Amino acid sequence: MTRVFIDADACPVKAEAERVATRYQVEMLVVSNGGIRPSANPLVQSVFVADGPDEADRWIASHCGAGDVVVTGDIPLAAKCVEAGAAVVKHNGEELTARNIGMALATRDLMQDLRSADPFRQGGGKPFSKADRSRFLDVLDRVVRRLKG
């Protein structure tokens, strides 16, 4: 049975994911440390984990598996979920798979090294756009449809 897991604390596409989950009648688990308003949708379950770094990530990684979809921007979490057999979709619509997760991890590590080498380096990633939101919806829809097959 396909489920959609949301790494919810900094997720800008919860509403879009809920629309896809509702369209395909799949359970959606919104995992956070709290502060996320529960949905009235009966398909959406809020999972509140203990406070602390990476508690939501640990919960998701230990509960997801083959046939599930995980929505996250956290690359180490994505790697664990891919290893568990889950499909992973980033907020911008990029799907992470066994074929590209190694490169995503290497890029993340390189950028982290560059930031730590230059403490005055300003800025972060590009801002989240309408195009990212649209791409996310399209990719999540295709992934859920494929897994429900």
Confidence check: pLDDT of 18 > 60? yes
Give yes or no for a contact between 41 and 26, defined as CB atoms under 8 angstroms apart: no
The count of structural domains within the chain is 1
Distance CA 39, CA 85 (A): 27
Q: What is the pTM of this model?
A: 0.86
Identity of the residue numbered 45: Q
Section 79-83 average pLDDT: 95
Distance CA 61, CA 79 (A): 9
Confidence check: pLDDT of 124 > 70? no
Q: Average the pLDDT over each of 83-92, 95-104, 115-124 and give the range with the smallest value.
A: 115-124
Could you read off the pLDDT of 37-71 as tens digits, one per residue? 999 999 999 999 998 889 999 999 999 999 999 99
Question: How far from the centroid of its chain's Cα atoms is residue 32's Cα?
Answer: 12
Determine the structural domain holding residue 59 and report its residue range: 3-120+128-148
Whichever domain contains 93, its CATH number is 3.40.50
